[in-house]
Structure 1
Amino acid sequence: MTTIAVTGHIHLTEGSVPLVRLALDDLLGQYAGDGDLVGVSCIAKGSDSLFAEAVLAAGGRLIVVIPSRDYRRNKVKPDDAALFDRLVEAAGEVLVLPYETAGRQAYEAANAVLVERADRIVAVWDGEPPTGRGGGTADTVLEARAAGLPVDVVWPDGAARLG
């Protein structure tokens, strides 16, 4: 069994979404059909949900980590709610962390769970350094590397972030 967790950017440009999804499909394709793929994701908008969809498409088992009790209510936008709910429903396991509200502490704890559960990390990441706010993609990559986990960076040509 191979357990792969994802960290990645939330705000991808519209044109980046199919590029990232194709790259994730290609990466996870090597695990397709063997029944041994487990994907761990916080299923946030963008990279996390694209990864979760790719895990399911590859026939893998999805584990969802929700950072706080209020995450669905206060952080999932109406346009993203149907996908979020569908991924929660498709998950083999849903772990809701014991934080009342989403924020830096909850996100850092969620990222720690990803690193703890994974054999390797997929980072949908443009390579930019940490922002200093904590809980971001670069922070998780550094944490995973410090823990000795292999990190597969996915950032296809043409991919870009909003803002």
Structure 2
Amino acid sequence: MTTIGVTGHMDLTEESVPLVRAALDDLLKEYEPGALVGVSCIAAGADSLFAEAVLHAGGRLVVVLPSADYRAAKVRPAHAETFDRLVAAADEVLVMPHETAAREAYESANRVLLARADRLVAVWNGEPPSGKGGGSADVVVDARNARLPVDVVWPEGAARRR
């Protein structure tokens, strides 16, 4: 059994989505479908693309939600259908003990994600942490400090919306 957590940018350009999807599909091909578990917060962008790739590869999905109000407070209408579909497809849904989606809730979700993972996939452009906490770069730093293997996925041509 291999459990892979994900972190990544939410603001991928429309042109980046198929590039990242293909790179994730390619990365997950090396795992046995019945022995693959993906752990994701299923936010828009990288988290959801990873969750979909895990399911497409025949793996199981564990969803970690940062707070009780996450769906209502943070999931935009354009992402709601994907979010709900991924929650329904998950083998397990963990909700962090926070009422509101805020920095502390995101950091708790990231800690649980890293604690459950054997490795981390980071859909990340390699830029250093912003100092706000809880972002992709922060999760990569935490994973590396915990000696968790990190696979960076940032295909040629990938970009963030500006």
**Category of TM-score, reference length = shorter chain:** over 0.9
Asked whether 1:124 is paired with 2:123, we answer: yes
The RMSD of aligned alpha carbons is 0.6
* DSSP-derived class of the 1:128 partner: coil
TM normalised by structure 2 equals: 0.99
Q: 2:145 & 2:79 partners in 1: Cα distance?
A: 33
Structure 2: any 5+ residue segments left out of the alignment?
none
**Aligned-partner SS, 2:112:** helix
Q: Give secondary structure in 2 for the equivalent of 1:134.
A: coil
1:24 aligns with 2:24: yes
Task: Please give the per-residue CA displacement for 1:123-157, whole angstroms capped at 9, x wherever unaligned.
Answer: 00000000000000000000000001000000000
Distance 2:152 2:18 in 1: 16
User: Match of 2:42, as an amino acid?
Assistant: I
1:1-163 matches, within 5 Å, as 1-33=1-33, 35-163=34-162
Q: Deviations over 1:15-65 (max 9, x none)?
A: 0000000000000011143x0000000000000000000000000000000
The runs of at least 4 consecutive aligned structure 1 residues that moved more than 6 Å come to none
Task: Give, as a single letter, the amino acid of the residue that structure 2 aligns with 1:30.
Answer: E
Which residue identity is paired with 1:139?
D
d(CA) in 1 for partners of 2:55, 2:106: 24
Give, as a single letter, the amino acid of the residue that structure 2 aligns with 1:158: G
Alignment size in residue pairs = 162
Q: Distance in 2 between matches of 1:6 and 1:106?
A: 17
Extract unaligned runs of 5+ from structure 1: none
Supply the distance in 2 between the matched residues of 1:31 and 1:81 (Cα, whole angstroms): 29
Amino acid at match of 2:37: V
Q: TM-score, normalised by structure 1?
A: 0.98
Counterpart code for 2:19: L
